[in-house]
């Protein structure tokens, strides 16, 4: 038996989850099915995971009492989102095993460190320049000599903290209006598709990958993931190989999502890395032999990885707040259940607002994308015309 294996039965096994959002919720549900107890540290934020956790610490991440209780209560820890103070991560790792490591999370939580990591390890990525001043931006725009995207170095997600540039703007005016101390300017990539690969690396260094997902976005937020991605076998194999290289270079333990741009010539460029379960991996709950959440638990607990086999073609539809006719009035779910091969996953959030992620639905079968798009159109139309 591996020395990293943690016995599953209580009181020897309580998995601590730093963060209490929907990813923590689904992680806790997977743990409960395996008979593993969970402790959710919310950070003092709204936390849908608390409804299904065994222990809850509803205090900020910089609270010493919360840190002490978390370390005393749990056997091993993981994270459900990356924007956690590095100091907190290191203090937890000094008390109990934390997977992935603070170093790996720190690289992925900051675009500057992430891009430098990709460059240092020879992993294909977009052209970029680090920006810390108006002069940096002026020089980078001159070198790029074309369209680009200016992104905050830290705490950006779902399109937040990003500004597309044509290349003709005044650098001084852009930098003065951009609310960040440090940023990254990236070349604009005219991609054919956006893809992602979920990779899980265990305690023994073995890495398994899921089939690539083809991702479409709406308002800079994931809208639909189509699996398997409609790409050539060569592209699928290359995406999986790059994802394994990323996991190995990070000395990673756990599951991570690697997002790609696929160019028209078949070239793959890594766009972002997520050190946790990922929105584009939610299809694994219904369409794969092992879900991404069970896979995370297996890696954290020192268990062998589960099969990543795809059981059925699938389309995952993100359910954002604009599907709701009113803040507390959900869509009519009957058509989804009538479908027969569609599965609803709601996150327990009580108030639907704008583009808030409220849940997702997985549609199985070869015509899954058509059925998902049809219901999406129906729900959005009903939300826009609630009195019809």
Q: What is the DSSP annotation of 184-234? A: EEEEPP-EEEEEEEEEEE-TTS-EEEPPPEEEEEETTEEEEEEES-SS-HH
Query: Looking at residues 40-47, what average pLDDT do you find?
Result: 92
| Residue 102: strand, helix, or coil | helix
pLDDT 10s digits, 300-355: 999 999 999 999 999 999 999 999 999 999 999 999 999 999 999 999 998 999 89
Classify the C-alpha dihedral 54-56-62-65 as positive or negative: negative
pLDDT of residue 156: 60
pLDDT 10s digits, 128-175: 999 999 999 999 999 999 999 999 998 666 557 899 999 999 999 999
Q: What is the pTM of this model?
A: 0.95
CATH 3.30.470.20 segments of the chain: 191-384
CATH superfamily for domain 127-187: ATP-grasp fold, A domain (3.30.1490.20)
pLDDT of residue 5: 83
Query: Looking at residues 52-67, what average pLDDT do you find?
Result: 97
Instruction: Say how far apart CA 110 and CA 121 lie, in whole Å.
Output: 17
pLDDT of residue 7: 75
At 165, give phi and psi (nearest 5°): -120, 140
pLDDT of residue 322: 96
pLDDT of residue 8: 75
The first and second tokens of residue 241, run together, are 């190989």
pLDDT of residue 71: 97
pLDDT of residue 202: 96
Q: How confident is the model at residue 46 (pLDDT cuts 50, 70, 90)?
A: confident
At 346, give phi and psi (nearest 5°): -100, 150
The first and second tokens of residue 276, run together, are 């946790």
Q: How far apart are the first and last CA of the chain?
A: 62
CATH 3.30.1490.20 segments of the chain: 127-187
Edge-to-edge strands of the sheet including 14-18?
55-57, 37-41, 14-18, 76-79
pLDDT of residue 143: 97
Q: How confident is the model at residue 191 (pLDDT cuts 50, 70, 90)?
A: very high
Query: Looking at residues 114-129, what average pLDDT do you find?
Result: 98
pLDDT of residue 349: 94
pLDDT 10s digits, 192-236: 999 999 999 999 999 999 999 999 999 999 999 999 999 999 999
- With 90 as the cut, is the pLDDT of residue 278 above it? yes
Question: Fold for domain 14-98?
Answer: Rossmann fold (3.40.50)
CATH 3.40.50.20 segments of the chain: 14-98
Higher local confidence (pLDDT), 10 or 93: 93
Query: Looking at residues 93-108, what average pLDDT do you find?
Result: 98
- Name the helix (H) or strand (E) containing 298: helix 292-301
pLDDT of residue 138: 97
Taking the domain 191-384, which CATH number applies? 3.30.470.20
- With 60 as the cut, is the pLDDT of residue 187 above it? yes
pLDDT, the chain, mean: 95
Query: Looking at residues 74-102, what average pLDDT do you find?
Result: 97
Q: How confident is the model at residue 87 (pLDDT cuts 50, 70, 90)?
A: very high
**258 with 250: CB under 8 angstroms?**
no
Helix axes 86-93, 64-73, angle to 10 degrees: 40
């Amino acid at each position: 038996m591996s020395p990293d294996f943690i016995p599953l039965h209580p009181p020897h096994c309580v998995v601590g989850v730093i963060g209490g959002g929907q990813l923590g919720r689904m992680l806790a549900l997977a743990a409960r099915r395996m008979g593993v107890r969970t402790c959710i540290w919310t950070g003092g934020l709204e936390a849908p995971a608390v409804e299904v956790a065994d222990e809850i610490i509803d205090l900020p991440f910089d609270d010493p009492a919360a840190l002490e209780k978390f370390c005393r209560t749990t056997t091993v820890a993981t994270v459900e989102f990356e924007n956690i103070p590095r100091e907190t991560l290191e203090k937890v790792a000094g008390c109990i095993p934390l997977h992935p490591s603070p170093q790996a999370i720190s690289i992925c939580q900051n675009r500057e460190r992430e891009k430098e990591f990709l460059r240092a390890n020879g992993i294909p990525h977009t052209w970029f320049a680090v920006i810390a001043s108006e002069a940096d931006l002026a020089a980078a725009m001159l070198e790029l000599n074309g369209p680009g995207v200016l992104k905050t170095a830290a705490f950006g997600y779902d399109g937040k903290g990003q500004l597309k540039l044509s290349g003709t703007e005044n650098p001084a005016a852009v930098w003065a209006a951009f609310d960040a101390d440090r940023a990254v300017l990236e070349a604009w990539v005219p991609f054919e598709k956006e893809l992602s690969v979920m990779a899980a690396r265990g305690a023994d260094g073995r890495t398994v990958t899921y089939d690539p997902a083809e991702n479409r976005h709406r308002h800079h937020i994931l809208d639909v993931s189509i699996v398997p991605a409609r790409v050539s076998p060569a592209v699928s194999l290359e995406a999986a190989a790059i994802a394994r290289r990323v996991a190995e270079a990070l000395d990673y333990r756990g599951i991570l999502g690697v997002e790609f741009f696929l160019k028209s010539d078949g070239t793959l460029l890594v766009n972002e890395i997520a050190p946790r379960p990922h929105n584009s991996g939610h299809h694994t709950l219904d369409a794969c032999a092992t879900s991404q959440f069970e896979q995370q638990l297996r890696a954290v607990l020192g268990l062998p990885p589960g099969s990543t086999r795809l059981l059925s073609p699938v389309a995952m539809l993100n359910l954002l707040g604009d599907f709701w006719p009113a803040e507390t009035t959900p869509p009519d779910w009957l058509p989804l259940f009538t479908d027969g091969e569609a599965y609803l996953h709601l996150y327990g959030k009580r108030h639907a607002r704008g583009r808030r992620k409220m849940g997702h639905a997985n549609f199985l079968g070869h015509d899954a994308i058509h059925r998902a798009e049809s219901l999406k159109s129906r729900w959005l139309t009903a939300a826009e015309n609630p009195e019809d």
